[in-house]
Amino acid sequence: MAAAALMTVCRAQVSSIVSLSSGIQLEIKADFGQPTGEQKLTVEMARASGDSFYRIFYDQNKLVVFAYELAVERAAADPNALHLTAKPTETEFASRYPNADAGKPVPSLSSDHEFGPLISGKSADLGLFEIPGMGTKVSETIKVTTNQGRNTAGPLRLSDLHCSVDRSAVAGPPPPTAVSGRFVMFYLPGKGGYFFASEPVAGKPFVNAGTIDRNHMRFNVENEDYDCTTNAAVLTHADSGELWVYHDPSYKPSGNWTLAPERLTRSSADEVFTAASDSLSWWLR
């Protein structure tokens, strides 16, 4: 009983983290206030476009009680800073989630909120909504880290990635910055996105396609053999393991926040790209 009472007065928080080989890490921490426990909220981060994603808040009945869109771009005056815009959800969200709130319009922001430019280590706070009588007062803190180097906060890591397909090396320089998270991915020009997990993924079309051995990944997708190496162990908590893979040939990174600063002015930005996240929804619709 004492433990249960303590839980009702503690502030409830949950974080979502995305790290990109462009050198950007974005952490969004939701603070639910001091909920009484009568209503339980969860939050999902789902891709909206190349430079934006949705923050979606669900209740215990899986109904959406609030949602907004967060757009991210590198600031024009300083490529190491980010400009953020929190926006109301519009018709695109309604068409993708037609029964999100049992047919009712989903509550959202009333207007745009702009933040930044935010440099590395800085954060912005955004008030969202309250649920009267439940102790729930939801806000979010958005923190930016740039040029984070060797981030190791996750079970999977990609650092200085080199790949070959059917023994032919993939052309172009490796991604400039390491990424790590529960899920990692890479994009190969002309071939799309490859998404990786170290275990089965419920509800997603992942296949057990290969193995991880220290800094070496080998897998076969659609009758092509992939051989990839990194300069650090791929698994951060073991030497070897299974590799679960999903391939989306139509995926392509977009939005200037996916590009490293030195690549912003190149005429062609179609290069190998890596990213990591604690949720597949950030990439996969």
Domains of the chain, residue spans: 2-146, 156-282
pLDDT category at 1 given cuts 50, 70, 90 is very low
The token duo for 191 is 């071939």
pLDDT for position 126: 95
pLDDT for position 152: 52
Q: Could you give the C-alpha distances from 12 to 122, 144, 247, in angstroms and in order?
A: 22, 22, 36
**At residue 127, what are phi and psi to the nearest 5 degrees?**
-80, 140
Length of the chain: 285
pLDDT for position 2: 33
**In this structure, are residues 145 and 152 in contact, taking their beta carbons and an 8 Å threshold?**
no
**In this structure, are residues 227 and 218 in contact, taking their beta carbons and an 8 Å threshold?**
yes
Encode pLDDT of 171-216 as tens digits. Answer: 888 888 899 999 999 999 999 999 999 999 888 889 999 999 999 9
User: What is the value of pTM for the model shown?
Assistant: 0.86
The token duo for 213 is 């051995």
C-alpha 233: how far from chain center: 21
pLDDT for position 159: 92
Average pLDDT, the chain: 87
pLDDT for position 107: 95
